[in-house]
């Protein structure tokens, strides 16, 4: 399970009999809360008592007619999504988010994913949106999108919603690589549920979901009339084709296996395929050259997942000399920081093409983290990372609404931005031979 989804999931409710004394105390507390509600604004009370917005459950909706459409998870179960309806001015505005979760590049890896929500809807549960960054419903924490219709599309195909093939697992059952069909069928169903009438639509994704969003950004835009405002937002999906410290192109090799196993070629840009290998066209540095829809790119230049799995995978440092540094950038020595600066410099160079795209935006901070839009702490809080004194939410909101021009910010090198220090080191739930990105 991805860490982001784990954060969104609600704990199982426990139903226990309470002793009479506990029940009496509970009743008394309820009376006090009721009185407080009369004299204290609800939003202030919620933040004062709980420290965060309430956690409303958002149910899982399984795709209708999934098997007939061939749009199924790796194990053949129907894919799912979570839809929370908007209100007020947001009633006709839509945010559609594609979940991340890495990739599976071999039959065994994909077969193993069938035992989790990343390969089967049997393991998917209700999730919470409140308090979770761009999905949140508190106006103070998510000022531009709090009351929009929001959709969180679950990821269960292992190829960034882009494959279309089948394979036989070792136990003789069929593995379904149907990510492209899932994307198309889910968007079609959402259009019938109101997305087609949107006056504004924002297409987003985190990590492997951000790569998915890039691959489908122009297709998503083409589904709406020209007068509808449609934009795309990629969070921590700018993966770099960089050699690891042993000289191997580990991520390139992974992508190459994914593309051939799951038949991903169909979604790759035709102008890129005319001159380059399909694997190269799967990288964002090439994808963004072809995308015409306005896009905002959010990415840490010291992306913790890429440092741990692209630049310094375990296989590249068998002497364990990088373990402490990969856990927390503050533990890196000056020589290691210089190596990390090489990854940062490659990312900045690959993003130069964005400078010529007037309606695009960027927020490239120097933090050691991964996926910042789905966390209230990093999205918009007193301790959020800032560039030009703006939080991520403010920068994205200003770009999306057109409140400011030139929304392209690239941070200086590591340790130059003190606002990054307030972020806790990210928990790494990945292993490079079985990638599970946040």
CA dist 234 → 16, 128, 147, 297, 360 (Å): 43, 21, 21, 5, 11
Distance of alpha carbon 227 from alpha carbon 412, whole angstroms: 38
Query: Of 160, 74, 167, 169, which is closest to residue 122 (Cα–Cα)?
Result: 74
Neighbours of 403 (CB within 10 A): 11
- Say how many C-beta atoms besides its own lie within 10 A of residue 325's C-beta: 21
Closest CA to 201 of 304, 95, 55: 95
Residue 423: closest CA among 388, 387, 376, 361 = 376
Of 244, 303, 365, 411, the active-site residue reads: 303
User: Whose CA is closest to 164, among 138, 149, 147, 183?
Assistant: 183
Residue 178: which of 119, 90, 129 has the closest Cα?
Answer: 119
Q: Decide if 321 is catalytic.
A: no
Q: Give catalytic status of residue 356 as yes or no.
A: no
Report residue 396 as tokens: 């994205």
Q: How many CB atoms lie under 10 A from the CB of residue 75? A: 21
Q: Which of 111, 207, 212, 304 is catalytic?
A: 207
Q: Is 303 noted as a catalytic residue in this protein? A: yes
Of 97, 216, 370, 380, catalytic: 370
Q: Which residues are catalytic?
A: 207, 303, 370
């Amino acid at each position: 399970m991805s860490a982001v989804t784990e954060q969104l999931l609600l704990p199982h409710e426990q139903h226990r009999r309470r002793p009479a004394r506990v029940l009496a105390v509970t009743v008394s507390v309820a009376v006090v809360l009721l009185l407080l509600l009369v004299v204290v604004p609800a939003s202030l009370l919620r933040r004062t008592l709980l420290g965060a917005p309430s956690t409303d459950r958002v149910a899982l909706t399984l795709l209708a007619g999934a098997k007939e459409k061939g749009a199924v998870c790796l194990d053949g179960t129907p894919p799912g999504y979570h839809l929370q309806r908007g209100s007020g001015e947001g009633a006709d505005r839509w945010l559609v988010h594609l979940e991340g979760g890495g990739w599976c590049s071999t039959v065994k890896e994909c077969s193993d994913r069938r035992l989790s929500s990343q390969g089967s809807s049997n393991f998917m549960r209700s999730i919470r949106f409140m308090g979770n960054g761009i999905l949140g419903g508190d106006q103070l924490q998510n000022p531009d999108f709090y009351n929009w219709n929001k959709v969180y599309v679950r990821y269960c195909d292992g190829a960034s919603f882009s494959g279309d093939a089948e394979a036989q697992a070792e136990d003789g059952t069929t593995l379904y690589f149907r990510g492209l069909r899932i994307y198309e069928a889910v968007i079609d169903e959402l259009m019938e549920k109101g997305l087609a009438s949107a006056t504004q639509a924002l297409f987003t994704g985190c990590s492997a979901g951000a790569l998915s969003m890039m691959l489908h950004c122009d297709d998503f835009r083409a589904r709406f009339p020209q007068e509808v405002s449609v934009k795309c937002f990629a969070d921590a999906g700018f993966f770099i084709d960089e050699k690891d410290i042993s000289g191997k192109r580990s991520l390139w090799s992974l992508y190459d296996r994914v593309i051939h196993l799951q038949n991903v070629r169909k979604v790759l840009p035709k102008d890129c395929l005319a001159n380059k290998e399909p694997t190269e066209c799967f990288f964002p540095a090439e994808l963004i050259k072809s995308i015409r829809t306005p896009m905002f790119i959010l990415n840490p230049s010291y992306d913790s997942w890429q440092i741990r799995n692209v630049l310094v995978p375990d296989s590249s440092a068998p002497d364990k000399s990088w373990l402490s540094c990969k856990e927390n950038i503050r533990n890196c020595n000056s020589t290691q920081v210089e190596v990390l600066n090489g990854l940062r410099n490659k990312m900045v160079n690959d993003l130069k093409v964005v400078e010529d795209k007037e309606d695009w935006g960027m927020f490239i901070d120097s933090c050691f983290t991964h996926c910042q839009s789905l966390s209230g702490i990093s999205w918009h809080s007193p301790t959020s990372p800032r560039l030009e004194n703006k939080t991520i939410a403010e920068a994205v909101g200003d770009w999306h609404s057109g409140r400011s021009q030139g929304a392209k910010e690239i941070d200086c090198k590591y340790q130059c931005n003190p606002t990054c220090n307030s972020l806790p080191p990210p928990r790494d739930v990945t292993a490079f031979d079985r990638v599970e990105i946040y």
